Structure 1
Amino acid sequence: MMKRLLLVLPLAALLLAGCQMFSGTQVEKVSSQKPEAATMKKVLVIGVKTTPEIQKAMEKAFSERLKKHGTTVVLGSDWFPGAELPTRQQVVERVKAEGVTGVLVTSLLNFEVAAVEEQYSTFILSAPSRTPEARVGWSDVWVSGHENAQQVRDSAPIVERTAVIETRLYDAVSEKVVWEARARMEVGLDAERNLDGFVSAIIAQLHRNGWL
């Protein structure tokens, strides 16, 4: 029974550690000019410096939320499909031709990976019954079980992955940045949850600054 319990303890520790890897987003820096409602009438949302899959998922997430505020949304991945980024001039020409009033650009600036010190529950061990002559050594089941737990921990270190993301809103008429924010997003195992938290944080900040 004790052997089974000791084998379960390392697995439980790893499962608990996994549960703590859900993502969260912290908006660190925001700069905003006086909000203009006209800028948000028809917005091109475009993600750069990331994979086509993440770009499309992020653009769709922004689109769903912006539409709830009455904004007409165009996705950059629809206008410019493929891995090759459009030039600034290509974007400007298409924006003017399609009557877009604002451009929301999200860019991955950096991706950081750092080891995290994780506190594990103390192993409470009970020595099995033995005769007075029996020696306590590494051959004991409970001791080797504890040693195995430490080996599992050492072979599966916990790391914290953080994406540093910059989001800028451009006014299509002036072609100038009218709002920008830098955020740090914890990247967990659930990509959809990561994007949901990030997009929600950015939309909330735009609303707080009067753009929505």
Structure 2
Amino acid sequence: MYFMENLLLQNIAKHVTLTPDEEKTVLNAFASDRFKAKTIVIKPGDEAHFTYFVLKGILRSYTIDDNGNAHILSFATPGWWVADMYSYLTGKPAILYVDVMEDCEVLILQKCDSERLFKEVPKLERFFRILTENNLIANQQRVLDKMSLSAEERYEKFLAKYSDIVNCLPQKYIASFIGVTPEFFSKMKANLLRRK
């Protein structure tokens, strides 16, 4: 339990400082859960008015196009947050999938509980605003990278961002994240290795 509390409070402390009483209020707002690998925790159409804070394991968020191809938006590892932000912020049904790639433990914050926390611990509103802004910047950069960087450059950025889990991920997921087919990704990696 201490590790779980500590990881969440460390994450919050990157942006705001809470008093011991505020920390207790925050911790009491979260539920915890564990999921086995391959569990789909959110799917399109779900009422996904909550966000997960990852304590252990790896989750991914993605969409599936009309041809059945998955397009990965993000991976979430310990200390990261993951949600279907569309559903979370609008109250409408989810449009993304979130699934478990490696057995995980998460903390869950319901939207209604976050709204209550904003009143009881106003610093939390600042914390989540900063997270939302950082997410917006990261998503914008990803769109720009897709338009202006080569697949190799996007792969290098992926390696820098996800260096701690790159060896845990199937190659097809990395290919999906950087926006190429698995076949293209295999050839690209072979070329990179030959050049080294």
TM over 0.5: no
TM-score after normalising by structure 1: 0.20
Structure showing greater radius of gyration is: 1
TM-score after normalising by structure 2: 0.21
Whose RCO is larger (CA < 8 A, sep 6+)? 1
More helix per residue: 2
